[in-house]
Amino acid sequence: MLVDGYGRKITYLRISLTERCNFRCQYCMPEKPFSWKPNENLLSFDELFQFVKVAIDEGITKIRLTGGEPTLRADLDRFIKMIYDYKPDIDLAMTTNGYLLKEIAKDLKAAGLKRLNISLDSLRPETAARIAGKDVLSNVIAGIEAALEAGFQVKINMVPLKGVNDDEIVDILEWCRERGIQVRFIEYMENVHAHSDLVGMHGREILEPIRSRYKIERVGRQGSSPAFLYRIKEDGYLFGLIDPHKHDFCESCNRIRLTAEGYLIPCLYFDEAMSIKEAVRAGDIPRAVEILRQVLANKPKENRWSEEGSPSSNRAFYETGG
Ligand code: SAM
Ligand code: SF4
């Protein structure tokens, strides 16, 4: 069993498969980084799988693939199948911008991927393009439809930004509600890589337009999910709010992150990380597990987005996987 220094049981591994992305979201990677990390620095799927196997043996029950944009990694379905074949009942999910899903959703489902979180920040082509840095909306919508058709359980992520897409909170909620998809509104998390002009919205501000349209009630968190759920009384539709500025989900945090280059990161906000790359490349898996335990021992109690003046994290979301 994996337990951190505060007695929290760690059962959830998020793997960032690449820092590269085909979008340039203002809140994540508005500019292409000065230089990409060379591809040879990435752990291969075979190397990653060596670590995944022991992580599962040690008690990981949920794995999420993310990035950057995970669908940019060639042979993604092969990696998914490796994990699925090792432990078919693992909760295997992926977060994606959806742009390439139309072509690959069926293959990913056949390989054993179970759930998809897809980012959708606007239903207006110009606003979606303004946020993502290019015209993306029709591909993203086609990707969501392909995912539903392939039989995936889909959730939508939206990051509301003042003066950009804040007037679409109810539209996106209704779009998802009509399709029976759960939407989760994510508070913008300040980080030094984001566009400096961005103004995020606090959870209570995100809820305002929804409250003025519907009667809603608080449901709570499910397990260790960072999303606090609300229900529309009229029909029972559930939606989520992810509000790290409150950080009350840190108490039950069950996750650890692995970057594409092999760094284990104990908390999305924090800079502390240790590499398992050398150990994995040398085939020294016991050493990789030792490093994993060390990182867990140093996992901080809570993030720092809740502090006065909302400090910015140095961590790039495209590197850690959000
Ligand atoms: N490229 C994929 C995508 O966009 O879904 C996966 C990686 S992305 C880093 C994962 C999630 O983090 C997305 O839902 C994205 O909206 C969210 N995200 C990125 N930067 C963020 C920020 N500064 N604040 C809040 N959420 C952010
Ligand atoms: Fe790419 Fe996702 Fe970051 Fe947007 S949020 S730039 S899609 S990694």
pLDDT one-digit tens code per residue, 68-84: 999 999 999 999 999 99
| Residue 282 CA to ligand 1 centre (angstroms) | 33
Which ligand 1 atom is at minimum distance from the Cα of 317? 9
**Nearest CA owner, ligand 1 atom 20:** 28
Residues for the chain: how many in total? 322
Question: Does 186 sit in the ligand 1 pocket, CB within 6 Å?
Answer: yes
Question: Does 321 sit in the ligand 1 pocket, CB within 6 Å?
Answer: yes
Cα separation, 233 vs 306, in Å, equals 30
pLDDT of residue 315: 67
DSSP β-ladder status, 12-16 and 216-221:
unpaired
Question: Does 160 sit in the ligand 2 pocket, CB within 6 Å?
Answer: no
pLDDT of residue 309: 60
- Map tokens 């050493």 to a residue: 287
Domains present along the chain, CATH in parentheses: 12-320 (3.20.20.70)
Structure token digits, residue 26:
């203002």
Ligand nearest to the CA of 159: 1
Question: Does 157 sit in the ligand 1 pocket, CB within 6 Å?
Answer: yes
Question: Does 303 sit in the ligand 1 pocket, CB within 6 Å?
Answer: no
| Residue 29 CA to ligand 1 centre (angstroms) | 10
Question: Does 97 sit in the ligand 2 pocket, CB within 6 Å?
Answer: yes
SS3 label, residue 61: coil
Write out residues in the chain with pLDDT < 50, as ranges.
none
pLDDT of residue 300: 72
Q: For 101-135, how does the pLDDT look when each residue is reduced to its tens digit (9 = 90+)?
A: 999 999 999 999 999 999 999 999 999 999 999 99
pLDDT of residue 226: 85
- As to burial, measured by CB atoms within 10 angstroms (0-12 exposed, 13-18 middle, 19+ buried), residue 171 is middle
Rg of the chain taking only CA atoms, in angstroms: 19
**Nearest CA owner, ligand 1 atom 1:** 69
Question: Does 131 sit in the ligand 2 pocket, CB within 6 Å?
Answer: no
